[in-house]
């Protein structure tokens, strides 16, 4: 079994299509595991949900998914995120809204737990420091944990209670051994590690390995659609810079 692991697609169908095509070119996959924030920010929420659902999909909720269907308040979103959430809410089919509302906060697929933010605060906490990593390790009932939300790829090793963040190097194949890990595959639709290329991972159950890759896509096409939809200019511009 091979799983394509995506997170923070953010309604960017050009980025998601490029990732799916690239993953097929690297040996393919049997399932798609989605770590949340399928919608929000971008112009194609429905197309992204449809493309994911064409596959054997395991998906959890992100803060933007719940915000788009009124299951989470947007009071702490910045102005452009709030505007995009309102635009998304107005541009979702009833079926897509039902799909987003029904997403669970946490899923497990051995040896992983899948969650958007952290196990302490599933849709809201940015897991980026030792304190948040330690709290998630304490709640983790599987060997490893997959998170998204920060849009920053990393691997964090439990390291006897002193969590250690390492680079999730592009193109490298990591063996999953006994040490427990928290991994973030990076963002498909709105990377924020100063690299605008969509980032994703593939888990191979037979070899017990995980690898991360990046792809290029037609950013301009996405940006033109965002402009036509009247989405905030700040969201359009940031795609160029991966921030």
Contact residues toward Zn ion (CB under 5 A) are 8, 37
Nearer to Zn ion, 38 or 113 (CB): 38
The answer to whether the beta carbons of residues 164 and 156 sit under 8 Å apart is yes
- Residue 143 Cβ vs Zn ion, minimum distance, rounded to whole Å: 25
- Residue 8 Cβ vs Zn ion, minimum distance, rounded to whole Å: 4
Q: Which residue is nearest to Zn ion (CB)?
A: 37
Q: How far apart are CA 190 and CA 167, in angstroms?
A: 19
- Residue 121 Cβ vs Zn ion, minimum distance, rounded to whole Å: 14
Q: How far apart are CA 157 and CA 198, in angstroms?
A: 24
- Residue 9 Cβ vs Zn ion, minimum distance, rounded to whole Å: 9
Q: How far apart are CA 184 and CA 151, in angstroms?
A: 8
Classify burial at 36, counting beta carbons within 10 Å of its beta carbon; exposed 0-12, middle 13-18, buried 19 or more: buried
Side-chain half-sphere CA neighbours of 172 within 13 A: 11
The DSSP bridge partners found for residue 164 are: 157
Nearer to Zn ion, 37 or 125 (CB): 37
- Residue 10 Cβ vs Zn ion, minimum distance, rounded to whole Å: 6
Nearer to Zn ion, 7 or 113 (CB): 7
Task: For residue 93, count other CB atoms closer than 10 A to its CB.
Answer: 12
Q: How far apart are CA 168 and CA 209, in angstroms?
A: 13
Nearer to Zn ion, 40 or 163 (CB): 40
Nearer to Zn ion, 8 or 125 (CB): 8
């Amino acid at each position: 079994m091979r799983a394509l692991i995506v997170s923070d697609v953010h309604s960017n169908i050009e980025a998601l299509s490029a990732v799916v095509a690239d993953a097929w070119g690297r040996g393919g996959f049997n399932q798609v595991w989605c770590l949340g924030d399928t919608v929000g920010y971008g112009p194609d929420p429905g197309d992204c949900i449809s493309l994911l659902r064409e596959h054997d999909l395991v998906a959890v909720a992100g803060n933007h998914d719940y915000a788009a269907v009124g299951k989470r308040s947007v009071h702490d979103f910045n102005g452009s995120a709030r505007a995009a959430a309102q635009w998304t809410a107005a541009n979702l089919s009833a079926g897509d809204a039902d799909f987003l509302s029904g997403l669970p906060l946490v899923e497990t697929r051995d040896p992983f737990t899948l969650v958007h933010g952290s196990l302490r605060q599933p849709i809201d906490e940015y897991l980026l420091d030792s304190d948040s990593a330690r709290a998630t390790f304490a709640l983790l009932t599987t060997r490893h944990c997959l998170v998204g939300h920060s849009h920053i790829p990393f691997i964090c090793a439990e390291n006897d209670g002193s969590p250690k963040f390492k680079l999730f190097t592009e193109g490298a194949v990591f063996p999953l051994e006994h040490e427990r890990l928290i991994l973030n595959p990076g963002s498909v639709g709105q990377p924020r590690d100063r690299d605008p290329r969509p980032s994703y991972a593939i888990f191979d159950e037979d070899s017990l390995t995980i690898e991360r890759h990046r792809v290029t896509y037609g950013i301009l096409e996405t940006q033109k659609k965002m402009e036509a939809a009247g989405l905030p200019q700040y969201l359009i511009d940031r795609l160029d810079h991966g921030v």
